[in-house]
Amino acid sequence: MSDNFGFANTVDRASDDRTLTYLEAITEALFVEMDRDENVLVMGEDVGGEFGGAFKATKGLAAKFGDRRVINTPIAELSFTGMANGMALMGLRPVVEMQFADFISSAFDSIVQFAATSHYRGIGKVPWVIRAPSDGGIRSGPFHSQNPEAWFVHTPGLKVVAPSTPADAKGLLAAAIRDDNPVIYFEAKPLYRSIKGLVPGGGYVSEIGKAAIRRPGSDVTVIAYGTQVHTTLEAAHLVADDGIDVEVLDLRTLKPLDTSAILETATKTGKVIIVHAANRMVGVGAEVAALIAEEAFESLDAPIVRIGGLDTPVPFSPPLEDAYRPTAAKIEAAIRKLADY
């Protein structure tokens, strides 16, 4: 395996910034962290060999690190997540690939009942990462399009991250692998090959628990994460010609939330919209809205607005899925309405 990991547009893994896709950044993080720490291993369905997983995120790992550290598993999420628990307790750092985030529910007991509680019960550290390819918009229907992050944000003992850029896809995955807590890493399938960005070389990390301003503004704040950061930036561009200055805050980490950044931007603009692709009811946006209402109410000039998926399974039909999901047009309309409030 060459130092460029087979990517035509990369140079050396220790080099300065390169332009990578979101998916390439994930793959590079795995190569770097496995090379850095022999206790890091990858496991999941079809992650080894030439196949490299359903989305090719692990392609080339087995050739470099061997099948003792790149482990193909049966289609049995509860079983191999339980294996990861045991490995982590014995000092390894498994990175578990759920083929789709939707299938994570099959491993719910291993994650929520065991891994999340082990530290508090005095059993020990469980330093695994679950990579969960999530989100829809690509006509994959209800079993391959879900955004189940709220389940895990609600669970004490877990950390939850959701990168929106290639740089954070690499940096947050590296940070998650090095973290001594179990981390659910939600990676956005629609972003895999649709976006590119500068990615630092070497073994850098993006700090877990820190949000990022993707667009500074003064009139309206939109808070988002994952794919919806890009949808929101599109909407912000659409209203800019009419003099509406939108600030976009990318949460990046869903647990722990960067409460300081959330309150700072809410106080700055006084008008807040929260967007996520997951269905709106009891989603992450509800927690963010409650935080702002409790801690920054006197700074608000308008009601807090939430935009999310409808309270239905994700439709397969393209027109129905478009109706289900937040879109730039829906966000644009909400921004204009709130700006005029």
Boundary (domain end) residue, out of 174, 199, 224? 199
Same structural domain for residues 314 and 188?
no
Query: What total number of domains does the chain contain?
Result: 2
pLDDT in tens, 26-84: 999 999 999 999 999 999 999 998 888 899 999 999 999 999 999 999 999 999 999 99
Q: Note if 276 is an active site residue.
A: no
Give Cα separations from 259 to 217, 255, 294 (angstroms): 19, 10, 12
Residue keyed to tokens 């220790």: 14
pLDDT digits (tens, 9 = 90+) for 124-164: 999 999 999 999 989 998 999 999 999 999 999 999 999 99
pTM score, two decimals? Answer: 0.94
pLDDT attached to residue 17? 79
Cα–Cα distance between 57 and 59 in angstroms, integer? Answer: 6
Q: Are 157 and 181 in contact (CB under 8 A)?
A: yes
Q: What is the largest CA-CA distance in the chain?
A: 60
One-letter amino acid at 303 equals: P
Catalytic residue among 119, 144, 230, 237: 144
- pLDDT attached to residue 15: 60
Residues 256 and 335 in one domain: yes
Mean pLDDT of 251-264: 98
Of residues 176 and 138, more confidence is placed in 176
Nearest-10 crossing angle of helices 259-269, 284-295: 60
Hey, how many other C-beta atoms are within 10 angstroms of the C-beta on 267? 16
pLDDT beyond 80 at 254: yes
pLDDT for res 296: 97
Q: What is the pLDDT of residue 6?
A: 35
pLDDT tens across 192-243, in order? 999 999 999 999 999 999 999 999 999 999 999 999 999 999 999 999 999 9
195 and 247 in a common domain: no
Boundary (domain end) residue, out of 165, 199, 233: 199
- Are 133 and 257 in the same domain? no
Q: Do 53 and 139 sit in the same domain of this protein? A: yes
Q: Residue 9's pLDDT is what?
A: 33
pLDDT of residue 232: 98
Q: Are 111 and 182 in contact (CB under 8 A)?
A: yes
